[in-house]
């Protein structure tokens, strides 16, 4: 048992992770589809101000994935991270947040 584990009263590392990283672990559990959609949204020309509803996001992501494919979207994203890493990180956080919200809204409708 490590000193950190003993101090916090945890008996295993799994409990420590669940306690200290709840929200971060949830974010890491994105599906491969969500990651692909976030990369496509990142690579699109869509701006935060343009997102009025989930249909706009769905249409933009679907069209771009059809046009460039997942690899093309990943390549555009990688290029932007290389050119503007400070701006790219914030845009990717935005894209992931929008995709998560879009997925939640679409599941509620079903």
pLDDT tens per residue across span 12-55: 444 444 555 555 555 556 688 999 999 999 999 999 998 888 89
Once rounded to an integer, what is the mean pLDDT over residues 59-87? 93
In 3D, which of 53, 52, 35 has the Cα closest to residue 43?
A: 35
Are residue 83 and residue 43 in the same domain, yes or no?
yes
Once rounded to an integer, what is the mean pLDDT over residues 43-72? 93
Domain membership of residue 21 as a residue range: 1-30
pLDDT confidence of residue 22: 53
pLDDT confidence of residue 7: 40
pTM of this prediction?
0.67
Are residue 46 and residue 64 in the same domain, yes or no?
yes
Are residue 52 and residue 102 in the same domain, yes or no?
yes
pLDDT confidence of residue 52: 85
Are residue 50 and residue 25 in the same domain, yes or no?
no
* Structural domain count of the chain: 2
Are residue 100 and residue 57 in the same domain, yes or no?
yes
CA distance 59 to 43: 14
Are residue 60 and residue 101 in the same domain, yes or no?
yes
- Whether 46 and 76 have beta carbons less than 8 Å apart is answered as no
């Amino acid at each position: 048992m490590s000193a950190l584990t003993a101090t916090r009263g945890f008996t295993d590392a799994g409990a420590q992770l669940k306690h200290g990283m709840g929200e971060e672990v949830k974010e890491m559990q994105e599906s491969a589809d969500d990651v692909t959609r976030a990369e496509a949204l990142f690579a699109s020309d869509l701006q935060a101000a343009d997102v009025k509803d989930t249909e706009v996001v769905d249409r933009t992501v679907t069209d771009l994935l059809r046009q460039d494919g997942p690899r093309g979207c990943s390549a555009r994203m990688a290029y932007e991270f290389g050119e503007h890493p400070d701006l790219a990180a914030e845009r990717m956080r935005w894209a992931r947040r929008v995709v998560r919200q879009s997925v939640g809204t679409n599941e509620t409708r079903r």
